[in-house]
Amino acid sequence: MARHRLRLCCPHCGVRAVEEFIYGELPTTPDTLVDADARDVDRAFMHGNTEGPVTERWFHTFGCRRWITVQRDTRTNEIL
């Protein structure tokens, strides 16, 4: 059964609807990529786009206006 609303727990404000937040992606360029040019291309254009648990940042725009760190499973939107 699909959940009807993704909620995030802000450590400052409590549990809030996801609409209050702006998504922020953390860089995922692998350390194994050592060539400087290839790293630049990867940082500029490539995404981890993980299917599973990810660590990401959210900015609480309509709240405390602070960045929070969230662990989420992208297959289910479950907050970990």
Q: Which residues bind another protein (CB under 8 A)?
A: 2-6, 17-19, 22-23, 25, 30, 37-38, 41-42, 44-51, 56, 74-77
**Measured from the CB of residue 26, what is the shortest distance to another protein in angstroms?**
12
Separation CA 79–CA 65 (nearest Å): 20
Cβ nearer to another protein, comparing 23 with 67: 23
Q: Residue 59: count other Cβ atoms within 10 Å of its Cβ.
A: 15
Cβ nearer to another protein, comparing 12 with 17: 17
Backbone phi and psi for residue 43, each to the nearest 5 degrees, phi listed first: -65, -35
Cβ nearer to another protein, comparing 13 with 73: 73
**Measured from the CB of residue 34, what is the shortest distance to another protein in angstroms?**
14
| Residue-wise burial string across 45-54, b where 16 or more C-beta atoms lie within 10 A, e elsewhere | eeeeeeeeeb
